[in-house]
Amino acid sequence: MVSVGIVGTGSYVPEKVLTNFDLEQMVDTNDQWIVSRTGIKERHIAAPETPVSELCYQAALRALEDAKLAPEELDLVIVATITPDFVFPATACLVAERLGAKKAAGFDLQAACTGFLYGVATAAQFIATGIYKNALVIGGETLSKILNWEDRGTCILFGDGAGAAVLQPVEEGYGFLGYDLGMDGAGGSLLAMPGGGSMHPASAETVAKKMHTIQMAGSEVFKFAVRIMGETALKALDKAGLGIGDVDCLIPHQANTRIVDAAVKRLGIDAGKVVVNLDRYGNMSAASIPVALDEAARSGRLNYGDIMVMVGFGGGLTWGAAVVKWSKRGV
């Protein structure tokens, strides 16, 4: 098997910022409540005319530039999203077309907030087996378009953005060392958008009932998240033959600082090694981990040889973790 690593990263968020103070004007909430319960201060929101493919395209351009790779060289494009431009065609097709990735295969992948981790794990298999050389994995979301802006329990949590990573063969022993992926369909209704699929096709009734928006049992998801983050990270480390003491950098899904803090405490990892940017972006679902990864890489937090763990959870329920020995030199 060929060693596979991340050779370029990129991210993009829309210009418009929605602060907690802006939200105070929209629903019965306040900055103090949101910051103390979630850690979120502001989030970016896409313009009504901006689809997720635009955010994905911008993030992809930056990742390809970072990897010094021409789009024509791409063999595979995977977009992880729960807010595709259309049910079909896949957003991956739209992004590949705009990039000019003429020879690439591609598809969308849906594992909610764990989507990027499922995406890199999938892409890495094609490279490890020698089938492909260059893969682009994007996590992108326009969650603002599936929020009920009258529901203060959900609309304060989420934001829009996209992050991307280019995967290639890397020096032996570097790159992805271990994964853990899981799901539990029994918890599916805890975090879902019930309308618009074949169970409840769009109708005047589904729109009136706001079934095309995120519905969430917040405290149930909270408990699940705290438990699973530690479990899945340790399993992935175990598969890599490593322990928590070997980790130089932890990139968790950016849902809530209380979830991250509780998981960090359970894992017993130094908080200084944990990347947190959710105060500026909120929860961007599949985009959260790749945006945080890009910021960590560009700010010099990831150095050649570092052991980095990405860990996430989300609707499905799904979860996952990936252990990476960083193979890129310099910032």
Contact residues for ligand COA (CB under 6 A)? Answer: 29, 33-34, 37-38, 113, 152-153, 156, 191, 216, 218-219, 221-222, 225, 255-256, 283, 314
CB of 295 to ligand COA, least distance (A): 19
Give the nearer residue to ligand COA in terms of CB position, either 229 or 302. Answer: 229
Q: In this structure, what DSSP letter does residue 144 have?
A: G
Cβ within 8 Å of residue 331, ≥6 positions away: 297, 298, 299, 300
Comparison of 74 and 109: residue with beta carbon closer to ligand COA: 109
Report, as residue numbers or ranges, the catalytic residues: 113, 253, 283
Smallest separation (angstroms) from ligand COA to the CB of 26? 10
Smallest distance, Å, CB 202 to ligand COA?
24
Write down the least CB distance from residue 253 to ligand COA, Å: 6
Question: Comparing C-alpha atoms, which of 285, 280, 275 is closest to residue 313?
Answer: 285
Residue 206's Cβ-count burial label (10 Å; 0-12, 13-18, 19+) is middle
The residue nearest ligand COA at its CB is 218
Whole-number Å distance between alpha carbons of 233 and 262: 14
- Torsion sign, CA atoms 226, 325, 287, 35: positive
User: What are the DSSP calls for 68-115, one per residue?
Assistant: T--GGG-SEEEEE-SS-SSSSS-HHHHHHHHHT-TT-EEEEE--GGGH
Give 181's contacts (C-beta < 8 A, 6+ positions apart).
Answer: 114, 117, 118, 121, 318, 319, 320
The residue among 31 and 246 lying less far from ligand COA, judged by its C-beta, is 31
Kindly tell me which of 29 and 303 has the beta carbon lying closer to ligand COA.
29
Q: How far is the CB of 170 from ligand COA (least distance, A)?
A: 30
Q: 170 or 191: whose CB is closer to ligand COA?
A: 191
Residue whose structure tokens are 């910051």: 35
